[in-house]
Structure 1
Amino acid sequence: MLKVKNVNVFYGNIQAIRDVSLEVNEGEIVTLIGANGAGKSTLLKTVSGLLKPKQGQIVYEGKTINGKAAQTIVKQGISHVPEGRRIFANMSVEENLELGAFLRKDKAGIREDMEKVYELFPRLLERLKQQAGTLSGGEQQMLAMGRALMARPRLLLLDEPSMGLAPLLVKTIFRIIEEINKTGTTILLVEQNANLALSIAHRAYVVETGRIVLSGSAEELTASEQVKMAYLGGH
């Protein structure tokens, strides 16, 4: 579904991504694990069109998408849940969700998807008219995910969904990520909590200083001594 081929990305003169190649097959959850500043978020931003690669190619469903505008990429079926949630704080929960469907015209479909979001995240239904900025961190994460789903993506990019959340909420969010995947949405996940990410992913890539240094099935990487020592607390 998604092929990233020899991609290089720079911030000014600083190279953030070096010759990265990876692929995501339809129906998979693929996770990128690695330390802070390794380039994982940069990679997601490059796939979603927020950053332009200097070299390399990004192919989605057989079409080259690098260099295209972010809104064009959303239209093609990729939604991005950014790190730090980035909800519209002074708008209501409902308005945030409606903005997720901004590019759509199918009113009946939008209503149907709203219902689906409320089924996944009942807490949002309880807080429909509330200002999004007054929600807890966990609720804001639910809203950011719900908003992305309103674009009806076939590929969902999730950046650090567990960041700053209480352990119990993290479990809930990850259970919902699995549910979203089971209903047919492919997921590329960036997550600090490597144990958790590997527990729900099909495959994984380890990113270090902008390069992919290891890849394999989630089971292989969970069993790898190198990964255990670096990312899984050495157990």
Structure 2
Amino acid sequence: MLKVDQIDVYYGNIQALKGVSLEVHEGEIVTLIGANGAGKSTLLKTLSGLLKPKKGTIQYLENSIAGKPAQSIVKAGISHVPEGRRVFANMTVEENLQLGAYLRKDSQGVKQDFERVYELFPRLLERKKQLSGTLSGGEQQMLAMGRAIMAKPKLLLLDEPSMGLAPLMVKTIFSIIEEINRAGTTILLVEQNAHMALSVANRAYVIETGSVVASGPAAELQASEQIKEAYLGGL
């Protein structure tokens, strides 16, 4: 579904990604793990059109999307839930969700997806008239994911969905990620909580200082002594 081949990405003169290659197949959950500042978020921003690679190619459903504007990438079926949630604080929950569907013309489908989002996140239904800025961190994460689902993506890019959340809320968010995937959405997940990420993913890539240093089935990486030592607190 997605093929990234040898991309280099810079912030000014600083190289953030160095020759990164990866693949995501339809129906998978693929996770990127690595330390803070390793380049994981930069990669997602490049895939969603917020950054342009200086070198390399990105193929999505066999079409080149490297350097395409973000709007056309959303139209093609890729939604990005950024780190830090970025909900529109002065708009209601419902208005935020409506914004997610702004490129869609199928009003019946939009209505069904509203129902689906409220089914996945019952708490959003309870708070649909509430201003988003007044929600808890966990509720804002649910809203950011719900808003992305409203764009009807084939591929969902999730950046640090568990950041700053209480352990119970982390479990809830991860079970919803699995549910979204089971319903047919492919997921590329960036996550600091390597334990949780590897437990839900099919495959994983490890990024260090802008380069992929390891990849393989998630269970295999979870069992690797080297990975345990570096990313799983030696457990």
Please classify the TM superposition score into its range, dividing by the shorter chain length: over 0.9
Q: Equivalents in 2 of 1:116, 1:161: separation in Å?
A: 19
Q: Equivalents in 2 of 1:93, 1:157: separation in Å?
A: 21
| 1:6 corresponding residue in structure 2 | 6
Structure 1 unaligned regions, length at least 5 = none
Give, in angstroms, the shift of residue 105 of structure 1: 1.1
| 1:167 corresponding residue in structure 2 | 167
Give me the CA root mean square deviation: 0.3
TM-score after normalising by structure 2: 1.00
Q: Equivalents in 1 of 2:226, 2:207: separation in Å?
A: 13
Give, in angstroms, the shift of residue 124 of structure 1: 0.1
| 2:71 corresponding residue in structure 1 | 71
The amino acid that maps onto 1:123 is R
Is 2:87 aligned against 1:87? yes
Can you list the C-alpha shifts for 1:139-164, whole angstroms capped at 9, x where unaligned? 00000000000000000000000000
| 1:191 corresponding residue in structure 2 | 191
TM-score after normalising by structure 1: 1.00
- Percent identical residues: 76
Q: Equivalents in 2 of 1:40, 1:226: separation in Å?
A: 20
Structure 2 unaligned regions, length at least 5 = none
The amino acid that maps onto 1:44 is L
Residue 53 of structure 1: SS of its match in structure 2? coil
Q: Equivalents in 2 of 1:222, 1:53: separation in Å?
A: 30
Give, in angstroms, the shift of residue 70 of structure 1: 0.1
Give, in angstroms, the shift of residue 67 of structure 1: 1.3
Give, in angstroms, the shift of residue 37 of structure 1: 0.1
| 1:224 corresponding residue in structure 2 | 224
Task: State how many pairs are aligned.
Answer: 235
Q: Equivalents in 2 of 1:205, 1:141: separation in Å?
A: 24
Deviating runs (4+, > 6 A) in structure 1?
none
Can you list the C-alpha shifts for 1:152-211, whole angstroms capped at 9, x where unaligned? 000000000000000000000000000000000000000000000000000000000000
